[in-house]
Structure 1
Amino acid sequence: MSIIARKNLLKLAWNIQLKCVRHHRVIPMPDPMPYTTAIWRKRYPYRHKTQFEVTHDEVYTKDMELKTLEERRQEFDPQPIRVDKVNIGFLSPTNSVSTSESRKRFEHYANQRNRADLKKLHYDGALRLPIDEVHDDWLSSRYFSENLRMIADHYGVFDDLFKHGYFVPRIPLNVNYPYDNDQVTPIYSGNRLYAKDASEKPQVKWKSTNESNEYYTLIFTNLDGHLKEDNAEVLHWFVGNIPGNQIDKGETLCTYLPPFPPNGSGWHRCVFLLYKHQNGPINFSELYGLLPENSVSLEKRTFRTFDFFNKLCSHLRPITLAFFQVAWDTSVKNIFHNILGMKEPRYEFDFEPRYLPPQQFSVEMAPFHRYLEQYRDRKDVNEEVIKHYLKMTCPFNGYPNVPKYPLAAPNEKWVPDWYKYELVKYHKRQGKWKMMPF
Structure 2
Amino acid sequence: MSYRSMTLLRFCSPIVIQARHGHRMRGKAPDIAKSLKERLAPVILDEEVAKRNDIGFPYQKPPRSAEFNKRFDHLKKQRSDSSLEKAARTTKLQINLDDVKVDWFKTAGPFHIRKIAEHYGVYDDLFGKYAYFVPRVFLDIKFPLNEDTVYPVYNGNKVHPLQAKSVPEVSFEHKFALSYSQKPEENTLWTLILTNPDGHLTKENSEYVHWMVSNIPNNDISKGDQIVPYLQPIPPKGTGYHRYIFVLYKQDKKLDLSSMKVTDLKDLEKRTFSTFDFYKNHEDSITPSGLAFFQSKWDESVRDVFHKELNMKQPIFEYDFPKAYLNYQKQFPLKQPFNLYLDRYADPKDVNKRYLEERLAKTHPFEGPEKKLQFPNAHELKKNIPSWKKTEIRKERLGRGRINDAV
Deviations along 1:302-331, one digit per CA (max 9) or x if unpaired, are: 111101111211211100111112222333
* Partner residue, 1:330: 300
Tell whether the 8 Å contact from 1:392 to 1:400 is kept in structure 2 after alignment.
no
Q: Which amino acid aligns with 2:157?
A: N
Query: Could you tell me how far apart the structure 1 residues matched to 2:95 and 2:68 are?
Result: 22
Query: What is the DSSP-based 3-state SS (H/G/I as helix, E as strand, rest coil) of the residue aligned with 2:159?
Result: strand
Q: Deviation of residue 88 (structure 1)? A: 0.8
Matches within 5 A, 1:305-384: 305-357=275-327, 368-369=337-338, 372-373=341-342, 375-377=344-346, 378=348
| SS at structure 2 position matched to 1:195 | coil
Of residues 4, 12, 17, the one that matches 1:51 is 17
Return the offset for 1:222.
1.5
Does residue 157 in structure 1 map to residue 114 in structure 2? no
2:267 matches 1:281: no
2:214/2:227 contact within 8 Å kept: yes
Normalising to structure 2: TM-score of the pair?
0.73
Say whether 1:129 aligns with 2:95. Answer: yes
**1:205 aligned to 146, 171, 190, which one?**
171
Distance in 1 (alpha carbons) for counterparts of 2:122 and 2:298: 20
2:220 aligned to 232, 236, 246, which one?
246
1:146 aligns with 2:111: yes
What is the percent sequence identity of the aligned residues? 33
State how far apart, in whole Å, the 2-side matches of 1:50 and 1:105 are.
80
Q: Distance in 2 between matches of 1:423 and 1:255?
A: 53
In the alignment, what sits opposite 1:189?
Answer: 155
Q: Give the letter aligned to residue 161 of structure 1.
A: L
> TM-score normalised to the size of structure 1?
0.68
Once residues 246 and 383 of structure 1 are traced to their aligned partners in structure 2, the CA distance between those partners, rounded to angstroms, is 53
* Aligned 8 A contact 1:194 1:328 in 2: yes
Structure 1: distance between partners of 2:303 and 2:352? 31
Look up the equivalent residue of 1:316 and give its one-letter code: I
Q: How does 1:293-312 map to 2 (within 5 A)?
A: 293-296=262-265, 297-312=267-282
Unpaired stretches in structure 2, ≥5 consecutive residues: 1-14, 21-25, 176-183
Aligned-pair distance for 1:419? Answer: 8.3
Q: Which amino acid aligns with 1:162?
A: F
Change over 3 Å in CA distance of 1:433–1:229 after alignment to 2: closer
Who is 1:173 aligned against? 139
Q: Cα gap change, 1:262/1:402 in structure 2, threshold over 3 Å: closer, same or farther? A: closer
Contact 1:425 1:431 in 2 (8 A): yes
Which residue identity is paired with 2:222?
D
Closer/same/farther in 2, CA of residues 391 and 244 from structure 1, 3 Å limit: closer
Distance change (3 Å), C-alpha of 1:417 and 1:325: closer
* Distance in 1 separating the partners of 2:406 and 2:238: 25
Deviation of 1:267 after TM superposition, in Å, equals: 2.0
Contact 1:292 1:300 in 2 (8 A): no
Deviation at 1:354, TM superposition (A): 2.8
Task: Return 5+ residue gaps in structure 1 as ranges.
Answer: 1-48, 55-65
Partner SS, residue 218 of structure 1:
strand
RMSD: 4.2
Name the residue aligned to 2:53. 86
How far apart, CA to CA, are the structure 2 residues paired with 1:310 and 1:433?
Answer: 53
| In structure 1, C-alpha distance between the alignment counterparts of 2:285 and 2:357, rounded to whole Å | 69
Deviation, 1:299, is 3.2
Cα distance, 1:224–1:105 mapped onto 2, change above 3 Å: same
Q: 2: CA distance between counterparts of 1:177 and 1:305?
A: 23
Task: Work out the number of aligned pairs and report it.
Answer: 364
Q: Distance in 1 between matches of 2:361 and 2:87?
A: 68
Equivalent residue for 2:260? Answer: 291
Bigger-Rg structure (1/2): 1
Letter aligned with residue 59 of structure 2? S
1:424 Cα deviation from its structure 2 partner: 5.3
Letter in 2 for 1:339: E
